[in-house]
Structure 1
Amino acid sequence: MSARVGAILMAVLLALYFVLAGWRAVQFIGTGEPVAIAIGVALIVLPVIGAWALWREIAFGARAQALTTRLEAEGRLDLGLPTLPSGKPQRQAATERFDEFRAEAEREPDSWQAWLRLGLVYDAAGDRRRAREAVRKAIELSRR
């Protein structure tokens, strides 16, 4: 399942949850009991927090995809890493060449392209947390 299909599925499920939880929240609040009212309010607040988190992830993915498309149009998307039959870069090769991409980002600290490439190598090396940080930095720099 692609990330886009997964995100759409999550959004649909969240919408369904909103409807069902909202209906139940109204029932709880309608009882007039303090504990039931608290549960009803929680049934309204928690899905809103979930929707906010989902929106942030979808927005991040869309911005990252837009930058990747721009990088590809500039001819700088190819990281020069050997790939597996699936097309994914080999993790070991990404780890071995990681220092080159980090040095590029350090040489060009205001280049969104360098930070995006670093994020892609982090991802290929299996370090998702740092990959997201680098891509966030690239998104921030691209807005300047």
Structure 2
Amino acid sequence: MKARTGAIIMAVVLVLYLVLVGQRAVQFVLTGEPIAVVIGVALIILPIIGVWGLAMELQFGIKSGRLAGDLEAAGEMPADLPVLPSGRVERSAADAVFPAYKARAEAEPENWKAWFRLAIVYRGAGDSRRARAAVRRAIRLHDAHAKRADR
């Protein structure tokens, strides 16, 4: 719940920042001075990129949260990972079980649950980059599976 609250606060702060930058950009463009217009256009483009980035991160968070909920509801979360009182996975345990989770994900490349569990282990081992990549793959596989089921 703390992560969700933090994400909401950061999103609100970013939107406020983008609005203020957007207002300043319009002021630059309205001066009519060539350099000010170029600066204004750049300041308009940057908030657009910021909104896109925020939307992508929120979408990633919502989808990964949904997958975690589905996995937990099915009782298929990794059970062999001891959790510290803070709620984080114990790193040494994650390092120890990592090879088994990686082997399972590679043996079942179309199984979103295997990739999501691998992401949990990556995160527990402190490898955020690979954890995000595994979650993205799990999301793609889950979405593809859902589309096939809808047909």
Cα displacement (A) at 1:88? 1.6
Q: TM-score scaled by structure 1?
A: 0.94
Amino acid at match of 1:51: V
Distance 1:12 1:87 in 2: 26
2:43 matched residue in structure 1: 43
Q: RMSD value over aligned CA atoms?
A: 1.3
Partner of 2:149: none
* Aligned: 1:3 with 2:12: no
Instruction: Quote the residue 1:90 is aligned against.
Output: 90
Question: What is the CA–CA distance in structure 2 between the aligned matches of 1:52 and 1:58, rounded to whole Å?
Answer: 10
The residue identity in structure 1 corresponding to 2:27 is: Q
* TM superposition shift of 1:14: 2.2
Aligned to 2:57: 57
Cross-structure match for 1:22: 22
What stretches of structure 1 move > 2 A for 4+ residues in a row? none
TM-score when normalising by structure 2: 0.90
Are 2:58 and 1:66 equivalent residues in the alignment? Answer: no
Secondary structure, in 3 states, of the residue corresponding to 2:26?
helix
Q: Deviations over 1:69-119 (max 9, x none)?
A: 101111101331122122321101100110010011012111000000000
3-state SS of the aligned residue for 1:143? helix
Higher mean alpha-carbon deviation, 101-110 vs 9-18, is at 9-18
Structure 2 counterpart of 1:120: 120
- The separation in 2 between residues aligned to 1:122 and 1:72, in whole angstroms, is 18
Q: Percent identity?
A: 56
Q: 1:19 to 1:88 in 2, by over 3 A?
A: closer
Indicate if the aligned counterparts of 1:79 and 1:117 stay in contact, CA closer than 8 A: no
Distance 1:50 1:134 in 2: 24
Give secondary structure in 1 for the equivalent of 2:84: coil
